[in-house]
Chains A and B, each alone.
Chain A
Amino acid sequence: MTTSLLPLWITLGYIGVALFIGLRARGGHLMDSLEEWGVAGRSMGPITLYLLIAAGSISAYTFMGAPGWAYSKGVAVFYVVIYLSYLALVAWYCGPKVWAFGQRFGHVTQGAAIADRYQSPLLGGLAALVMSIGSLAYAVLQTIGSAYILSVMSGGRIPVWAGVIVILSVIAIYLYVSGQRAIGLTNAFQGILMLVVAWTVGLWAAHHATGEMGFASVFERLAAERPAFLTLPGADGKMSFAFWTTSIIVSMLSFMPPVWSQWMSARSADTIRRSATWLPTYYIVVLPMVVVGFIGITALPNLGRADTVALEFALQNLPSWLVGLLGAGTLAAAMSSCEPFLHSVSMAYAKDIAQPLFRLGDAATARLARRLLIPIMALIVAPVAISEPSNLIMILLVGLGFATQVLPAFIGMFLWTRASRWGVLAGILSGFSVTLAFTLVWPNPLGIHAGFWGLMINLPLFVIVSCLTPPVRDDVVERFFELAIPGRLPSGRR
């Protein structure tokens, strides 16, 4: 814990700036429709979208978990950089199509697109409901991370429960007022801040540890003294080739709902391609923070919790202003990932579940989505975050495992016309059951990711059942694939 108040003031200053930007993001736009509040009127340009997607994919994990992985496992941590780059390829291919569906058919949520493609509000609602489990668990984890940072930066003066309330209140205010526009602009600010903080902290830490403004000496020492950290399966022996490979595949194929909202917020299909093209360049943000974890292997050999290595090293060795910047950067990473998930859950509950269930009009649905933010935060996220449940990681893993199991729904949107609603349903349910069993009962058999086992059952069943059951109406399939086939996006706003 720090005794200086400077880190706290820097961190609180960051929160103030984020709040100001979030409120200003509204810019006179009326937030009375999901087109505006949900997808920012499909208006975001390439730079904002680049920073929105980049910052959204860089969570508190990059500032806490990734250095922790480097500290406990070694180079195994780089699988994250690889799958994030592959997600950019996925965004390049699928993003423009999702944008075109949204623009042509009026979709504002992932569930709405699924319901439309398979002519099944039930399937759309089911997908939205179960996707929300992983989304909420993710938001809770980021909220806990944010509150922990505030606690550390304040030297314990701000307890975790108060930190949770502060962070969620700030996010609630600007999300309610400015919706997706707030996420876009705050993520842009947070994305730049994270990049600057990560490299400043990484280079400063390396200089402090080795006397050089580079990372070579850090790794030369490890190569000589602890070479197990430089190869798989890593120092703890847990990252086998099988787990590395299947983790990347499963992570790459997880189409989380906020990503869809981000794609649909673009000004044009071309905007998404341009942003996706440059996305991999952002992931140099991971390298310096990982290096801090590697430095910790020799500098902090007896750490109790690996994911505190960057903060502990900073508190013990870096000047107060840099500790404050690290706190602000970590908080930015946590908030930039938390807010899109909260926003997408609100929209999914209102648009994909409440609207078809209660036959609400579009205006009432938009009002409901905004208002749902408050109970979701106050009744679900805050109490769970304050109680800091020990099985939250498990909930998150199961939730993310499910996200991958929705893959058949997307294959039927982008690649295969014959996909039927029963095929998708069979694939999702079987894949989810297998993932659940191989996460809770028999974790990752043969060192293969549980979600990958799920896909191995899911995809064949999806194909077989689709071929055996009636396809979706021709006119629906044709209007989707008119847009999904390369080169056939609508002219004018490609």
Chain B
Amino acid sequence: MKHYVVRPRSGKGWILTLAFVALIALGLWPVIGWFNLPRLWLGLPWLAIWTYVIVLGCWLAMLLANRWLRVPSHDD
């Protein structure tokens, strides 16, 4: 058989893959360094806020992915 590496098969698949990779990059160096300041926003440290921005991003990306990939629901 002809061997291969699995890749997204549509434009939306590529966008979602890039979104997942971007989300992961947002939590690592160097990006994390940009928020590494002893400042507060909404009463929380910048790094804590950034952490929950990533949490929110992951949730939204998966919500979008479910909608875009049109995965039918079979759960009641």
Contacts and interface: CB of A to CB of B under 8 A. Distances in A.
Given A223-B40, A231-B47, A277-B66, A45 B55 contact: no
B66 A273 contact: yes
B66 A223 contact: no
A228 B65 CA distance: 39
B75 to A, nearest CB: 5
Nearest to A220: B40
A477 interface: yes
Interface in A121-145: none
Interface string A22-48: 000000000000000000000001100
A219 B5 contact: no
Nearest to B20: A89
Interface string A57-91: 00000000000000000010010011101101100
Interface in A266-287: 267-268, 270-271, 273-274, 276-278, 280-281, 283-284, 287
A97 to B, nearest CB: 10
A227 B55 CA distance: 24
A91 B58 CA distance: 12
B1 A231 contact: no
A361 B20 CA distance: 43
Interface residues of B, number: 48
Contacts of A477: 1, 3
Interface in B13-71: 13, 20, 23-24, 27-30, 32-33, 36-40, 42-48, 51-52, 54-56, 58-59, 61-63, 65-66, 69, 71
Contact of B6 (A216, A217, A270, A485): A485
B75 A88 contact: no
Contacts of A414: 6
Interface residues of A, number: 62
Contacts of B63: 277
B11 interface: no
Contacts of B73: 270, 274
Contact of A248 (B27, B33, B44, B46): B27
Interface string A214-237: 111101100100011011100000
Contact of A88 (B6, B44, B58): B58
Interface string A236-268: 000001101100110010000000000000011
Given A220-B40, A494-B72, A244 B32 contact: yes
Given A88-B62, A92-B62, A417 B3 contact: yes
Contacts of A88: 58, 62
A277 B73 CA distance: 14
A478 B44 contact: no
Given A241-B33, A273-B66, 11 more contacts: A78-B47, A78-B51, A93-B20, A245-B28, A270-B73, A280-B55, A416-B4, A471-B3, A484-B6, A485-B9, A494-B71
27 contacts: A45-B75, A46-B75, A75-B45, A75-B47, A85-B27, A86-B23, A89-B20, A216-B43, A219-B45, A230-B38, A241-B29, A241-B33, A241-B36, A244-B32, A245-B32, A248-B28, A267-B75, A274-B73, A274-B75, A277-B62, A280-B58, A415-B5, A471-B3, A485-B9, A486-B6, A486-B8, A486-B13
Interface of A: 45-46, 75, 78, 81-83, 85-86, 88-89, 92-93, 214-217, 219-220, 223, 227-228, 230-232, 241-242, 244-245, 248-249, 252, 267-268, 270-271, 273-274, 276-278, 280-281, 283-284, 287, 414-418, 471, 474, 477-478, 481, 484-487, 493-494
Interface of B: 1, 3-6, 8-9, 13, 20, 23-24, 27-30, 32-33, 36-40, 42-48, 51-52, 54-56, 58-59, 61-63, 65-66, 69, 71-76
